[in-house]
Structure 1
Amino acid sequence: MDFPTHAAQVLAQTEVLARELHGAELRTPVPSCPGWTLGMLVRHIGAGHRWAAEVVRTGAALDDTELRVLHGDDSGVLPGDWLVEGAAALAEALLEVGPGVDMWAPFDLDGSTFWARRFANETLVHRADATLAVGLPFTAAPGVLAESLDEWMDLDVQPEHFTITPRKRDLLGPGRAVALEAPGARWFVDLTGEVITWDRGDRRAAVTARGSLADLLLLVYRRVPASAVEVEGDAALLDFWLDHVAFG
């Protein structure tokens, strides 16, 4: 998926969210984000889009305190127009600066390209949170879901995680490998070396989780338990891996 498509996905996924949850009450609990209401989730999404738009416009590392201010007035219904406005502002900022523009980004990743990809996928996952909260099925195009899993893998193998979360090194060891399989797609996570690596290969893993692309995405983001997918092999290793890679 290229840069313009990622930028477009930020807006497209937000528009789907606003349409699917039109009239949803903000006090609705969000089970996949324990302790959150739909209002808290909406404020997080909308503030995140607006914050990222400023990062892209300025290239600077901006204070993100506002993203953590979740409490507010939950007496109304989902503010779809406000959500879409924030997503549109981010998409516009991204397209104005273009891909590969140097600016602040975590792990020194590729500036504007990182932000387009990150917020396309963050918006997708938070749409899943909102959709599931109101009892609707979460669906997206296979290519969108597979790309989101690719991005999750790319972020998870960043070696800086070992400094941020030293316990993640506990994952490494001989014979340790995890595979995720969906119809027509496979991800292989190699935990046997000095760092974590991944590819789309078909090597044998100690444990394999099989399910739909949507279920696998929700699994790695810890939105559903391992029981939501078929597990073959060392189930304890899968649980251990999921416990040590949780983010997002």
Structure 2
Amino acid sequence: MDVERLAEGLHEHTDGVAKAVAGADPGAAVPTCPEWSLKVLIGHIGQAQRWAASTIRSGPSPVPDPFDADPGDPGDWSGWLHAGATDLIEAVSAAEGPVWTFFGPGPATFWLRRMLHDATIHHADAALATGTDFAVAPDLATDAITEWLEILSNPITPTLKPGLIALRGTGQTLQVRPDAGPGWLITRSPDGIHWARATEPADATLAGPVADLLLVLTRRQSPDTLTLTLTGDRDLVDHWLANTAA
């Protein structure tokens, strides 16, 4: 996705988060982020975007603790969130070369894309916590799934989150099939996760709207609560979902 679309999406979902929590109790629980309140959720979103902007400009620093973030007065959350998004976009626009990422030097757009999809999923968290509507454009949902699989399949990722080693297998396949466009074929191999944009028979298949697939793959919703079709090995799907975290 080009920088303009990434930036547009970041503003869109930052605004969505702000609207979802407007007037809500800052101490309200966020069911899809155990142990977090809405204040911690909002703090994390703005904190992460500012940290990413600082990383682009000055290099890495310790990943901040969401519980240390101070988003200010709830009445000012919208402005605080938008300021963080704008700061990140400006840092990306000003970058002149590769920057630090978890996976080695990469383009500054790595962080714009990462923070966009982070904000998108946390928009869903905020909406689920406050009973408000959530929507994500198909192109953004598609890219979010692709990015998530890129992260999970990177050989560095298990060194950062050792629990993901449980996703290795002996060739089991999972097809994620959206209503439109090619799907994702995931293969669990002894050396890690492999995937391709392909629509092929698999041991298990999840099919349905791409936005719903994103919510299920990031464990924000159960496949049983959305308009998805699950065929094949249900245990394989359950194992995948039980051993991933977003």
User: How does the TM-score come out when normalised to structure 1?
Assistant: 0.88
Structure 2 CA distance, aligned partners of 1:52 and 1:164?
Answer: 18
Cα deviation for residue 170 of structure 1 reads 4.2
Structure 1 residue 45, shift from structure 2 partner: 0.7
How many residues in Structure 1 have an aligned counterpart in Structure 2?
243
Which residue of 2 is the match for residue 150 of structure 1?
Answer: 146
Deviations 1:18-37 (A, max 9, x none): 23433222122211112211
Rounded Cα–Cα distance in structure 2 between residues aligned with 1:66 and 1:174: 37
The 1:205/1:134 distance shift into structure 2, 3 A limit, reads same
Assess, with a 3 A threshold, how the Cα gap between structure 1 residues 102 and 230 changes in structure 2: closer, same or farther: same
Quote how far apart the aligned CAs of 1:177 are.
0.4
Q: Give the direction of change, closer, same or farther, for the CA distance of 1:48–1:172 in structure 2 (3 Å limit).
A: closer
Question: In the alignment, is the contact (CA less than 8 A) between 2:151 and 2:157 conserved in 1?
Answer: no
Using the size of structure 2 for normalisation, the TM-score is 0.88
Q: Which residue matches 1:123?
A: 119
Q: Compute the displacement of 1:7 (Å).
A: 2.9
1:93 deviates by 1.2
Assess, with a 3 A threshold, how the Cα gap between structure 1 residues 173 and 140 changes in structure 2: closer, same or farther: closer
- The CA RMSD over aligned residues, in Å, is 2.3
Contact preservation (8 Å) 2:176, 2:213: yes
User: Tell me, which stretches of 5 or more residues in structure 1 are unaligned?
Assistant: none
Structure-to-structure mapping, 1:157-236, within 5 angstroms: 157-166=153-162, 168-185=164-181, 186-192=183-189, 194-228=191-225, 229-236=228-235
Does the CA contact (< 8 Å) of 1:208 and 1:232 recur in 2? yes
1:159 alignment partner, SS class: coil
Flag the 1:42–1:166 CA change in 2: closer, same or farther, 3 A: closer
Distance 1:70 1:97, change over 3 A: closer
Identity of aligned residues (%): 31
- Give the Cα separation in 1 of the matches to 2:20 and 2:173: 38
Residue 89 of structure 1 aligns with an amino acid whose one-letter code is D
Quote the offset at 1:199 in angstroms.
1.4
Cα distance in 2 for partners of 1:211, 1:224 equals: 13
> For residue 112 of structure 2, what is the amino acid of its counterpart?
A
| 97 and 239 in structure 1: CA distance in 2 versus 1, 3 angstrom threshold | same
Indicate the residue corresponding to 2:237 in structure 1. 238
- Whether the 8 Å contact between 1:187 and 1:200 is mirrored in structure 2 is yes
Which sections of structure 2, spanning at least 5 residues, go unmatched? Answer: none
Counterpart residue number, 1:86: 84
